[in-house]
Amino acid sequence: MELTERHVEGLKHLLYNMADDLLILGHRNSEWTGMGPILEEDIAFSSMAQDKIGQSLALYNILHEMGEQEPDVVAFTRNSTNFHCAKLVELPIGEYDFSLVRHFLYDYADAVKFDMLSKSIFEPLAQVCRKFRGELKYHTMHANIWIKDLTNGNEESKKRMQDSLNLAYPIAYSLFETNEYEAELKEAGIFAGESEQKKIWKKEVDAVILESGLTIPMVKNEEDHHGGRVGNHTEHLQPLLDEMTEVFQIDPTADW
Amino acid sequence: MKTKESDITSLLEEVMDPEIPTISIVDLGIVTGIKLSEELVEVTLTPTFSGCPALKIMEEMVAEKLNNAGYKNKVRTSFETQWTTNMISEKGLVALKKHGLAPPPRHDGYVELDVLSDTPCPLCDSRNTTMQTPFGPTLCRSMHYCKNCLNGFEAFKPVS
C-alpha cells in the first residue's frame, strides 16, 4: 500500500512519541546507576536504561531514513518544547518505590504497543518492534517480581507501593494522549491506536495490581496529564535535557 | 578463482564475539546476509539486543577481517531478520558453556520465563538452581545461584 503524506506525518508523530519516551525514561533509569538500593537493582535499572536508549536509537534511525536529522542531532539539540515524550517518563526518579511503579506502568504500555506494531504494514517499524518485544519481556518480568514482592513485604513497603501507584497511575494516562492521525493510521493498518493500546494496557496492569494485593487508583479525568505529545511538559524535562546534553553542548564533535 | 559464500563464512568464523571470546559471530547467528558481486562483499549483521554496544565493534572487526583478506567490502546492520537465541548454532551453545555461561534453552518462538528459574548450572549440571536477577553484566545475561555446588553463575538469556 502507498503511504500518503498524512500517513507519513502521522508515522513521524508516532515515532517521535515512542523514541522520546524511550530516550527520556532511559536517561531517568540511568540515574540509578551507582545509586540502586541493592547491587542487582543497580544493574537492572542500568540494563533497562541501555535497552531503552538502544531502542530509541533504532527509532531515530527510522526517522532519519524518512528524512529527519541524524539521531545525535535529534537527541541532543532540541529544547523541551520540541520533545514529544509523555509526562510520566520525565518525572524525577523519586524514591525507589516510585521508579519501580513507573517502570511497571510504562513497560506494560510499551509491551502492548510493540505487540500491536509488530503487525504494522510499515515494515521498518514492524521489524524493530518484533525485536523490542523479546527484549521487553525481561523488563515486565522484573516489574512483576518486585511489585509482588514489595507489596507483600511489610506494612511500610506495601504503603509505599500503594502511595506511588496512587501518584503514578493517573499520570500513566499521559502515554495514551490521542492525536489527529489516530483514525487514519488505524484505517491504513499502520497502528491500531492509543485508545486500543490503553484498553489492553488497563486490563493487564489492573490484573497485576489486584493479584499483588494493591488497590486500583481512581482516575477522575484521563486527560489531566496530557500535553507531552505536543510539547507541553512539566518543569522537570528541561533540567534533564540540560544535563543530558552537557557534553554535546561543550563539544558537538566529541567522540566517546 | 571465484570467491564462494562459504569462503566468506569461513573467514567470519574467525571473528569472535568481543564479550564472549569462545563464540564466533557465525555461531552466534548474527550474520544474516552475505552477498557477493564482482567488486564487493556485502555482509549484513543483526543485533542481539538493540542496545548492544558490541555491535559497532563487531561491524569493524568484520570489515577488518575482510580487508586483510583482500576483499573490498560493505558491512551493515539491519533488523530485517530479528535475532533470537534459536539462531545460535549447536557448536555455539557448547562454546557458551565453555565460557562458563549456561546456554539458552531452545524455544518454539515464545519464551516462557519460568525456564529461567531452574537453569542448569554450567559448572555441575545440577538443575537445583535459582535465578537471582534477569539482568547481568551484559544485556544478554541473567544471574543465577547453584544450590548444589554453591556457585553463582551467569546464563545467556533465551530471547524470542
Q: How far apart are CA A144 and CA A107, in angstroms?
A: 11
CB–CB of B47 and A131 under 8 A?
Answer: yes
The grid coordinates of residue A249 equal: 553542548
Name residue B65's amino acid.
K
Q: What is the mean pLDDT of residues A105-121?
A: 98
Question: A5-250, superfamily in CATH?
Answer: Ferritin, core subunit, four-helix bundle (1.20.1260.10)
Closest Cα in chain B to A136: B159
Q: What pLDDT was estimated at residue B3?
A: 86
Domain boundaries, chain A: 5-250
Q: What is the pLDDT of residues B31-74, one digit of tens each?
A: 999 999 989 999 999 999 999 888 899 999 999 999 999 999 99
CB–CB of A138 and B80 under 8 A?
Answer: no
Closest Cα in chain B to A61: B78
CB–CB of B50 and A47 under 8 A?
Answer: no
Q: How many Cβ contacts (< 8 angstroms) between chains A and B?
A: 72
Strands (E), chain A: none
> Is A254 exposed, middle or buried (CB count within 10 Å of its CB: 0-12, 13-18, 19+)?
exposed
Q: What is the mean pLDDT of residues A181-209?
A: 97
CB–CB of B135 and A44 under 8 A?
Answer: yes
The grid coordinates of residue A233 equal: 511538559
Check: CB of residue B50 under 8 Å from CB of residue B111.
no
- Out of B51, B80, B134, closest to residue A138 by CB: B134
CB–CB of B51 and A54 under 8 A?
Answer: yes
pTM (2 decimals)?
0.95
Provide the 3-class DSSP secondary structure of residue B92: helix
- Neighboring chain B residues of A133 at a CB cutoff of 8 Å: 160
Angle separating helix axes B5-12 and B54-68, nearest 10 degrees: 120
Q: What is the pLDDT of residues A31-71, one digit of tens each?
A: 999 999 999 999 999 999 999 999 999 999 999 999 999 99
Is residue B82 pLDDT above 70, yes or no?
A: yes
ipTM value of the model? Answer: 0.91
CB neighbours (10 Å) of residue B81? 17
Q: Which helix (H) or strand (E) holds A75?
A: helix A71-76
